[in-house]
Chains A and B, each alone.
Chain A
Amino acid sequence: MFNSDDKENEDRKLNRRDFMRKAGVLGLAGIAGGQALKAVAHPLNNDTPRVITAPDQPNPPVITQEFPIPGNDERQIVQYPEKRPLIRITSRPPQLETPMPMLAEKGGITANDAFFVRYHNSEIPLSIDPKTYTVEVKVNNGVYDPLTSTPTTIYTVSLDDLRTNFHRFSIAAVNQCSGNSRGLESPRMPGGQIGNGACGCAIWTGVRLKDVLEAAGVPAGTQQVIVNGLDQPDDEPPDFVKAIPLDRAMDGEVMLAYAMNGEEIPMLNGYPLKLIVPGWYGTYHVKHINEIILSDSSDFSKMFYMGTAYRIPDNGSGYLPPGTAWSGPWIPITRIRIRSFITSHVNGATVHTGRPVKIHGVAFDGGDGIKTVEFSSDGGASWKKAELGRRLGNYAFREWRGRFVPPADGEYTLKVRAVSNSGETQPENPDDCWNPNGYMRNVVESVRVTAVSDWDKQKGVNS
């Protein structure tokens, strides 16, 4: 359990699994029907923990061709608490990927129970009491080092205060992992071997970071706003903290979300408070925020996830010729590059020859908004303009749809590409969006479907 005392920590190290199991069983004691995936009914004012479990899944199903990762046949479908069965990348730390058909089932929004999960540290909070939850705003002088700095607390705000006494703000925004699609890169690189589903779009509701910082009082000379959450490294490895330049932090869009699509944020997505930096990659979307540090230094070299990891070549594009190294300067990854996906069909799907096939999906970028989406049903030889769906703001998924009629039986390669309001486009060639960490891949995507004349019979449809 998180926040356990030292004795428990020692026990845990001695026999992690036994300890965790014991704690889990104790926690479940008061629950009827312990397999519940949703919290059992409870009064709103109650100290009894809502214990949320998932079924034991000793032999989870494995997927291959629908969401292929070349050379990887061990992607299992596993159900976690507050989640549907999703693609598991790793269990420690938890990394779950959204199957593409679940990416935007309803109005360009990803459901909370389908939203992807990505942690960095193995010690993640499993139990949180919202009544005692607070966020501390601190001030640090000089270069901030998570291991040695001792910032001074200037303001403490409770979750309840944030929910009730601050102006409520909502924004629709994509959260996409920097390494989304890394498993599709060539040449490959180590790291989370993710397909295309480490992204999602939600309507986030909470408070502006600006309002919280103004309530705390921002000292003159502040350069960076550093955000930390409850997840911790197991032992020595560096804590996950992120830094944002003050002007971005105060732009009125960066926010602390306490609700996701109108509901409580799932624990694995950062309950009860998550940082939202619209238009920037998911690495900035710190979960379980408990500490905000105002630093008068712009130096982030001592923060591992700013100064060492999540960095791209400072060469203009951030991309390199595949397989090459970069000896020049590196900078932190920030803004999402334009992308578009097909979500209506997966690889290997069959469609009816001679009849209209509806295809749809989503497009998004770093905040300019989507201007046009085009799709192709012949592998990119010809392109048609797609119809765009409702606009939920420039940071959200923009739905698109189109249709085509396969003239004959056979395989068809569907493709999609988007253009932003600022003219940003996607590369046709994956070699044009490669870098050594597998970040920011945004190639024009393809899905292969097969048209068959006896589709009705294959699907068991009587028509």
Chain B
Amino acid sequence: MIKHFAKRPLAVAFVAGLVAAGAATLAVADGEFLAGNHDRSHGWGHVARQSDAPKQIVIDNLDNFVVSKGDPDQAALTQEVCGDCHSTDYPATQLKMSCAAWGKEIVKMGNTFGAVVPWKEDGISKANLTDILHYLADNYGQGAAACVGNELDPLILD
């Protein structure tokens, strides 16, 4: 393997310049402000030896995707259709949106993000998605009463 050294002596000068600049301005520091020595604690030119053992994290115990609000059947349907990609906190953290705005989101997921393909494969119909729209509008929005029925018209599902 060719060593790609020595093309960039500037980098050394750059770091050295920063160290010098740091030393010059350190005089203004007090207390917790500007505490710490960057050159050692933050890795300018120094990198702790890294393990070559495989690294694995476990986050399944933190996954928040259980839909618990509202009508149980609609909740289960919503979880089945939306839950592969989104946790419940996704709708829960949005501002309570109008039915029209929730309709736009479903259309966007379907047409733009390509979710219509798995929906078709799983036999999800426009009627199913309308149920989901009503569920989202009721439980994470301004209510399904304002739905007018054309919200999912732009969806290319057929």
Binding site for B on A (CB under 8 A): 13, 16-17, 20-21, 23-24, 27-28, 39, 42-54, 56-57, 69-72, 74-76, 78, 80-82, 88-94, 106-109, 122, 126-131, 160-161, 163, 165-170, 188, 190, 192-193, 202-203, 205, 207-208, 211, 214-215, 233-238, 252, 258-264, 267-268, 271-272, 304, 308, 358, 360, 387, 389-393, 399, 401
Contacts and interface: CB of A to CB of B under 8 A. Distances in A.
Interface string B18-48: 1001100110110101111110011111111
B105 interface: yes
Contacts of A235: 84-85, 114-115, 117-118
Interface of B: 1-8, 11, 14-15, 18, 21-22, 25-26, 28-29, 31, 33-38, 41-65, 84-87, 89-90, 92-97, 101, 105, 112-118
Given A167-B4, A167-B5, A237 B114 contact: yes
B87 A261 contact: no
Contacts of B47: 168, 205, 258-259, 262-263
A76 B115 CA distance: 29
A64 to B, nearest CB: 13
Given A49-B54, A235-B117, A190 B18 contact: no
B26 to A, nearest CB: 7
Given A91-B65, A190-B101, A392-B18, A130 B54 contact: yes
Nearest to A75: B93
A261 B54 CA distance: 21
A45 B15 CA distance: 31
Contacts of A92: 63-65, 85-87, 90
Contacts of B7: 167, 211
Given A74-B92, A165-B4, A262-B41, A50 B84 contact: no
7 contacts: A107-B41, A130-B50, A160-B52, A188-B95, A234-B85, A260-B43, A263-B48
